[in-house]
Amino acid sequence: MGRTSGILPDRAIAALFETGRLKADAALDGDQIQPASLDLRLGPKAYRVRASFLPGPAHLVADKLDRLKLHVVDLTEGAVLETGCVYIVPLMESLELPEEMSASANPKSSTGRLDIFTRVITDRAQEFDKIAPGYRGPLYLEISPRTFPVVVRRGSRLSQIRFRIGDALLDGAALTALHGTDTLVASESPNVTGNGIALSIDLKGTGPDGLIGYRGKHHTAVIDVDRKAVHDVLDFWEPLHNRGRSELILDPDEFYILVSREAVHVPPLYAAEMTPFDPLVGEFRVHYAGFFDPGFGHGPAGGGGSRAVLEVRSHEVPFILEDGQIVGRLVYEHMLERPAGLYGLGLGSNYQAQGLKLSKHFRMA
């Protein structure tokens, strides 16, 4: 490998299975390994619990479940997970990481766009979605649908995991230099703050009707997370349009799909992640699903970019978003080496060259 620290690419993830560092209860799906991540699959049972929890440094998740579970849901043939409920699902994959390797997890893009709140939990964990160096043990997924009830089953893939060795993060100087050669975001004056490069919101809209986004409807039918292009958009979403003011009032407890003003580019030797710009800039949360694989927005001649779809939820109070307001930032990490496959190039990637786009489950006109 060319580097001694960085994110593991697809070939190295496959090698973890070959060496027994990664194990699974069933053979891998053909597209389960992505350029810089591995999709995680649900096991056959979901445990309905009263509330979310972390096991803490002295406890196993299974021990907590014995005390906190309300009932068990059989996922073998598929089952509905209801909104407002919390479920814990043992995953089909487990880990025996070497001491120098850590990992982190995130919801898949389609999961975030359905407003399904997910977090990976490990035994003795004190943080969600963070897997400590050298961790050996099972993985669990906390699932809480927020807007739509969903059908899931054994093998459904809602979350993804990345593996890293050492500190792979680009600092501000390296990020500025990379943007100068590879145009990470399509902006004449990129805002680099700390280790991140800012993204802002587009509320001017696209097309003759000035479509700026969608707001999720309540009391809908269920969505099957494993079926593509089967649901009518208007049964689940209210389209939002620019009415001349280029602003949007976020209502509390409503879920919105919006889009960034800037196009995003992730060069082949890097991976990126969306993080909050600053928790103090507003009472809202942006982008549940934050991984951008190597090759996202990468055209045949280099850059080009694809816009970032933003999953937005306000908190306790209404909040006014204005066009061009900074809502998040991208951090970039080195890959250990170039992946064998890049996002969007022959991998059946759903969101390459995207603009404002709902999840793959909906039929777009």
Q: What is the pLDDT of residues 261-270, one digit of tens each?
A: 999 999 999 9
Domain residue spans of the chain: 6-165, 172-363
pLDDT of residue 245: 86
Domain 6-165, architecture per CATH: Distorted Sandwich (2.70)
- Structure tokens that stand for 18 in this block: 């070959």
Cβ-contact 117, 146 below 8 angstroms: yes
Rg (CA), the chain: 20
Report how far residue 112's alpha carbon sits from residue 6's, in angstroms, rounded to the nearest whole number. 25
User: How is 242-289 classified by DSSP, letter by letter?
Assistant: --SS-EEEEPBT-EEEEEEEEEE---TTEEEEEEES-TTS-SEEE-S-
Q: What is the pLDDT of residues 287-323, one digit of tens each?
A: 555 789 999 988 654 456 788 898 888 877 888 999 9
Cβ-contact 336, 7 below 8 angstroms: yes
Q: What is the largest CA-CA distance in the chain?
A: 59
Matching CATH number, 172-363, of 3.30.9.10, 1.20.140.10, 1.10.40.60, 2.70.40.10: 2.70.40.10
Amino acid at 162: R
Mean pLDDT of 344-349: 54
Is 172-363 in the same CATH topology as 6-165?
A: yes
pLDDT of residue 333: 96
Amino acid at 324: G
Q: Tell me the three state secondary structure of residue 181.
A: helix
pLDDT of residue 301: 46
Mean pLDDT of 66-79: 96
Mean pLDDT of 28-47: 96
Contacts of 288 (CB under 8 A, 6+ apart): 107, 111, 112, 115, 117, 311
Q: What is the pLDDT of residues 112-137, one digit of tens each?
A: 999 999 999 999 999 999 999 999 99
pLDDT of residue 1: 45
| Model confidence at 224: pLDDT above 80 | yes
pLDDT of residue 244: 87
| Model confidence at 331: pLDDT above 90 | yes
Q: What is the pLDDT of residues 143-186, one digit of tens each?
A: 999 999 999 999 999 999 999 999 999 999 999 999 999 999 98
- Structure tokens that stand for 144 in this block: 């809480």
| Model confidence at 276: pLDDT above 70 | no
Cβ-contact 153, 226 below 8 angstroms: yes
pLDDT of residue 165: 97
| Model confidence at 356: pLDDT above 90 | no
